[in-house]
Structure 1
Amino acid sequence: MNRTTTALLAALEALLVVAIGVGIALVPLTILWAAHFGLSIEWFVFWRAAVDVWLLGNGVDLTVQLGPDVAAAVGLPGADAPFSLTLAPLGFAVVTVLLGVLTGRRAAETPHLWVGVVSAVAVYALMATLATFSALGDTVTPSALQGTLVPTLIYGSGVLFGAERARVRHDLVLKHNSGHENTGERLDPVSLGIRDRYRRLQQTTRAVISGALRGGAAAGAAIMAVSAVAFFVLIVLNYATIIGLYEAIQAGILGGATITFAQLALVPNLVIWTMAWFVGPGIAVGVGTNVSPAGAMLGPIPGLPILGVLPQGTPAWGFLGLLVPILIGFIAAVIVRQLLDRPGMPERSALQHVLSGLGMGVVAGVILGLLAWWSSGSIGPGRLSDIGPDPLLVGALAAAEIGVAAAIGMLVGAKVTVPRVRTRRPRATVKPRGR
């Protein structure tokens, strides 16, 4: 496969990713246009609405200016003035990243990896820019700069991750087949520079940094996994309440489908909000409200049935939720300590173990704080301008809880026996690359 073919195929895939992202919102809106409005409204209105939803889901801020009649019907203070929509339904971003990973993986299967990566990201940026300018209107106005950059960064991160992951797997297979350690190391200059600087550090320093990065990332991922399971359990336990809220809205078939679609797009946000509850700060569902292990202070909330999972009053055992990040931090540190104590690894002092554990807390705190920041925002004027967790509080408390627990786990980890799990070796087959 030559460079031109690689570039064209990557560009076509980027075009399809944009079409899929916009189409997720455009298809139900087009059905609504035909079934409910009888084709009486210009279809381009629904196109702009679909692009607005897609841009918002990819982290682009929207500025809304309601007309006098609509603002009066809303009945919220400040509805007649321009306000911002910044709460991103992260389901769109998740789809973008996953499709980007597939694009990067396919680019890595060709001899011209960077040609495919650059072509895909450049075409995606062009299409995102065109879509953003096509959605500009008097009522809803997306940020032109964000519309060009933010979706492209999200897609580009997925492409780079997929390409790098596929490249590393291919190099591991080559190394396994040849039996030589230096086989397949085809790193770019930036990666080579980072690796060389890392190797210049003392071996114990590298062990501390490696333990902090691995343990912190693992602890953050484990907390998110527990939060996802807990959110699913809440849906099951509050199923009757959710159905009752659906019936109270009386939105009809099309309205109910639209609400369900919106809730599915918000599932990643809700999982992150569950994580914020476990960490401690909880979430705001409007200005002056808070839902945390200490109790729930709620006023009128947005009319989404899925919010029926929110607890009411003060949970009898809510404080037990705070043990989740602490236990996960401790367990992650014990496992990392076992990995670092393998034969051939350098001896480390108690201070270095503590620093590695505290580093785990910092890494996990940064990850969870960024997720909290990404999942929160504004969905309207007045009291609806504050929805979601406080990212600084989530990051700081997560770093403190996980860091202290991980430091203790690193100190006592040598005395704890962890069952070893055998990892699968790379397969002894190499996928042929195109020419």
Structure 2
Amino acid sequence: MTRLTCALLAALEAAVAALIGLGIAVLPMMLLWSVHFGLTVDLAVFLRAAADVWLLGHGVDLVAQLDPVTADRIGLPGAGEPFPITIAVLGFGLVTILFARRIGRRAAATGHAVTGCLAAMAVAAGIGGTLAILAADPAARPSVWQGFVLPAVVVGLGAVIGAAYELLRAEASARPDASPGTLLARWRDLPEAPLAAALAAVRIGAGSAFGILAVAAVLVTVLIAVDYATIVGLSQALGAGADGGIAIAIAELALLPNVVVWAASWLLGPGFALGAGSSLSPTGTLLGPVPGLPLAGILPAEGAALGIVWLIVPLVLGFAGATVAWPWFLRTPGRTAHAWWMPVAVSAAAGLVAGVVLGLLAWWSGGAVGPGRLAVVGPEPLPVAAMAALTVFLGSIAGAFTARAKPRGGRFADERSAFDEFDRPEPAYRG
């Protein structure tokens, strides 16, 4: 495939990804316009709102201004003044990342990873900036420069993840023609021991971070199942009707990734806030008025018993990740992998990776959702990152030393004997 063809395909897929995300945002708006408001309100209002929601999903900030009647009805301090909305609706960003990951994989498989990523980012930047300009309104004004930048960053992140995955897969397959581009050639020129250590750290750290998110997702699922009656009761109390109920359900699905990240922050200890002065963590719950979404029915009324016990989750994940990754790392030729300090270095890097991943997700998942106390919603990124890094580091170092000390007759005996054979000095030549 030529470079131009790869760029055109990546641009087309990026446009399709944006259209699908916009379609998901437009659907509930069309229901509200046609059913709830009976086609009496200007359609442009709902189209602008859909564009705002899509931009929010990619991290673009809005400045909103409520009309006086709505501001008086809400009754929050500062409701009549312009206020920022900075929370990212992660469901839309997740859809874009999944599509972009496919773009990156396809581009890397053709040997033009950089070209494909840049083409997709250019299309995302054009769509995001255009929507930010067209959706500008006194009621909600998105940041234009963020509209050009942040959707492109999200697409680039997904494309880089996909390209890196395809690159590693091609390298593991030992087929030179699987990824014939320049990146694979440069990858193979890197020093083997530092590269193996970095890959081990990324596998342990990223695996532990996403393992924590998986446990948090299971926890959220269990809470939804247990508190389903409360959620239904809150939904009925809103009296939104069938069309409004569908719109609320789609909004909650879009916010579900945010809730999973908040649950992960809760597992790690720092917890999260739902308004200034509120706090939800394993040690206790302090709540005021919360946004009126039925999903709020899963919020715990109090802290968990023995809340610190939840920290065993990242410890176990770090331990398991190091136990699995360490024998793979020992396949690296040379004596560096067997040095006593190597488990400490790899575990420290793994903790850093886990902290960066969860800290960035915590930062991206929170922000302002309204005026007054609603300007503080979500977890604090730095405490979440610090706890993730510390717990994963401790679990990883224990797992690495455990795998390092495994007897030769155990599961990884073949790998150890191979390294013994590698390190054994060659016999002197005898003529």
TM-score, normalising length: structure 1: 0.86
Matched, 1:299 2:271: no
- Verify the 8 A CA contact 1:117 1:159 in the aligned structure 2: yes
Deviations 1:210-251, CA, capped at 9 Å, x for gaps? 432221112112111111111111111111221121122222
Q: Distance in 2 between matches of 1:391 and 1:2?
A: 43
Structure 1 Cα separation of the partners of residues 321 and 3 of structure 2: 44
What are the residue-to-residue correspondences of 1:375-394 with 2, within 5 Å? 375-394=365-384
Matched, 1:358 2:352: no
Matches of 1:359 and 1:113, distance apart in 2? 27
* Pair 1:367 & 2:375 matched: no
Q: Are residue 348 (structure 1) and residue 342 (structure 2) matched?
A: no
CA distance in structure 2 between the partners assigned to 1:109 and 1:209 by the alignment: 23
CA distances 1:16-51 after superposition (whole Å, capped 9, x unpaired):
222211111112211211112222111111110000
Tell me how far 1:359 sits from its aligned partner. Answer: 2.0
| Contact residue 357 and residue 409 of structure 1 kept, 8 A | no
SS at match of 1:266: helix
- 8 Å CA contact 2:280, 2:303 repeated in 1: no
Cα deviation for residue 123 of structure 1 reads 2.5
Correspondence list, 1:171-210, <5 A = 175-176=174-175, 186-188=180-182, 196=189, 198-199=190-191, 203=193, 205-210=194-199
> CA–CA distance in 1 between the matches of 2:17 and 2:302?
44
Say whether the 8 Å CA contact 1:330–1:406 is kept in structure 2.
yes
Aligned partner of residue 81 in structure 2, secondary structure: coil
Residue 97 (structure 1) aligns with: 97
Quick one: structure 1 residues 114 and 287, their matched pair in 2 at CA, closer, same or farther if it must change by over 3 Å? closer
What secondary structure, in the 3-state scheme, does the structure 1 residue paired with 2:285 have? strand
SS at match of 1:84: strand
Q: CA RMSD in A?
A: 2.6
1:344-395 Cα shifts (integer Å, max 9, x gaps) = 4535333332222222211111111111111111101111111111100000
Would you say 1:231 and 2:225 are equivalent positions? no
How far, CA to CA, are the matches of 1:356 and 1:13 in structure 2?
Answer: 37
Partner of 2:275: 286
Q: Matches of residues 35-434 of structure 1 in structure 2 within 5 Å?
A: 35-108=35-108, 115-166=115-166, 169=169, 175-176=174-175, 186-188=180-182, 196=189, 198-199=190-191, 203=193, 205-342=194-331, 344=333, 346=335, 347-415=337-405
Could you tell me how far apart the structure 1 residues matched to 2:221 and 2:164 are?
Answer: 32
Deviates more, 1:343-352 or 1:302-311: 343-352
Counterpart contact for 1:208–1:353, Cα < 8 Å: no
- Would the alpha carbon gap of residues 358 and 109 (structure 1) be closer, same or farther in structure 2, given more than 3 Å must change? closer
SS of the aligned residue for 2:180 comes to coil
CA distance in 1, matches of 2:164, 2:327: 28
Closer, same or farther: CA 403–163 of 1 in aligned 2, 3 Å: closer
Q: CA deviation at 1:329?
A: 1.6
Structure 2: 5+ residue runs without aligned partners?
A: 413-431
Partner residue in 2 for 1:430: none
Which residue number corresponds to residue 417 of structure 2? none
* Preserved contact between residue 62 and residue 86 of structure 1 (Cα < 8 Å): yes
Distance 2:200 2:6 in 1: 39
Query: Which amino acid is the alignment partner of residue 281 of structure 1?
Result: P
Partners of 2:105 and 2:159 within 8 A in 1: yes
C-alpha distance in 2, partners of 1:110/1:357?
Answer: 35
Whether contact under 8 Å (1:172, 1:184) holds in the other structure is no
> Residues 11 and 389 from structure 1, CA distance in 2 versus in 1: closer, same or farther, beyond 3 angstroms?
same
Contact 2:330 / 2:338 at 8 angstroms: preserved in 1?
Answer: no
Supply the AA of the counterpart residue of 1:305: P
The one-character-per-residue Cα deviations of 1:377-434 (angstroms, maximum 9, x if unpaired) are: 11011111111111000001111122122222222333458868xxxxxxxxxxxxxx
Give the whole-Å Cα distance in 2 for the aligned partners of 1:235 and 1:135: 35
| Aligned residue pair count | 409
